[in-house]
Copies of this chain bind each other. A is one copy, B any other.
Amino acid sequence: MTPSTSQTSATSPSQTTARRVRVEFAGQSVEFGGPGVVVIAGPCSIESESHLLNTGREIAAHGAVLLRGGVFKMRTNAASFQGIGEPAFEFLPRAKSAIGLPLVCEVTDPRQIEMMLATVDMFQVGSRNMYNYELLKELGRTDKPVLLKRAFAATVDEWVNAADYVVRGGNDRVVLCERGIRTFETTPRNTLDLNAVAWLKAHTSFPVVVDPSHGTGRRELVIPMALAGIAAGADGIICEVHPVPDQALSDSAQAIDFKMFEELVRKSRAVAASLDRTLAVLEKGRA
């Protein structure tokens, strides 16, 4: 386990050696932090097994290498749909096999970790839990990679420090995810902060992913901001895809359909190539 002392302050000297983080699945793996840009896609919330299969197969066919999908949702209003919860773990292993992609899934309580370990290939910590240090400490005791979203009002220094809670626990497989910060501007719901992406790539060793779906909250901005994220140096893109976006049970205004996703992947490949990068693929074997 590499010690993480150089990540504990945003003012520490630059690190140019990128940390590489692999997500493993069925004898294959995909790497964050190398030359390939990782495309992660899927629904905001998993609504049912058939919904997940339908979406998952399409995004896999179009070039996604990691499946996203929420089971426990963090909702502002206690009366809103809170995700389908624990019952999802009955069908998730079956669905993953059918789709052929590893799964990144949000954990919202340290007490959920054990139940999720057998099924989830990468833990996601959502924006509202970036400061949930008890949860981060527990994830530091696992050996699964962690996708750590930035809290929507966290400084990059606090974000790197939150990653350090996981690393100090013994798990250095942390990937950071920029998902939009809260500013005075409300035309896009959030302000996707690509400066932070460029800064993290220049000053820390963590792989960085960009979420243009939550980061803007508006469908028409997802493709340009995904491309901008890659140009700013991101190691991956995570976006919400739904067969019929307007019918999504959560965050429907920002989900894109299969056709837009195909365009996103095609243009991402072109922009990545212009910067001497590729789109990452699932490879046989582990790190």
Please determine whether A161 and B224 come into contact, CB atoms closer than 8 angstroms. Answer: no
For chain A, the count of residues having a C-beta within 8 Å of the partner chain is 69
Give which listed residue, B182, B193, B225, contacts A198 with CB less than 8 A: B225
* Interface residue? A271 (CB, 8 A): yes
Among A74-82, A91-99, A255-263, the stretch that binds chain B is A74-82
CA distance in complex: A221, B151 (Å): 22
Please determine whether A76 and B128 come into contact, CB atoms closer than 8 angstroms. Answer: no
CA distance in complex: A69, B91 (Å): 46
Which residues from 145 to 199 on chain A have a C-beta closer than 8 Å to any C-beta of chain B?
A: 151-153, 155-158, 161, 164-165, 168, 181-188, 190-199
Q: How many copies does the complex hold?
A: 4
- Please give me the residue from chain B that is nearest to A164 by CB atom: B78
CA distance in complex: A152, B267 (Å): 31
- A contact residues vs B (CB 8 Å cutoff): 8, 10, 74-79, 108-111, 128-129, 131-134, 151-153, 155-158, 161, 164-165, 168, 181-188, 190-199, 201-202, 215-216, 218, 220-221, 224-225, 227-233, 267, 270-271, 273-275
A to B CB contacts below 8 Å, 10 in the list: A155-B185, A185-B195, A191-B191, A192-B194, A194-B228, A198-B220, A225-B232, A230-B231, A271-B275, A273-B274
What would 16 more interface pairs be, CB under 8 Å, given A111-B111, A191-B193, A198-B221?
A128-B133, A155-B185, A155-B186, A183-B183, A185-B193, A186-B186, A187-B196, A188-B199, A192-B195, A195-B216, A227-B231, A228-B229, A231-B271, A267-B275, A270-B274, A271-B271
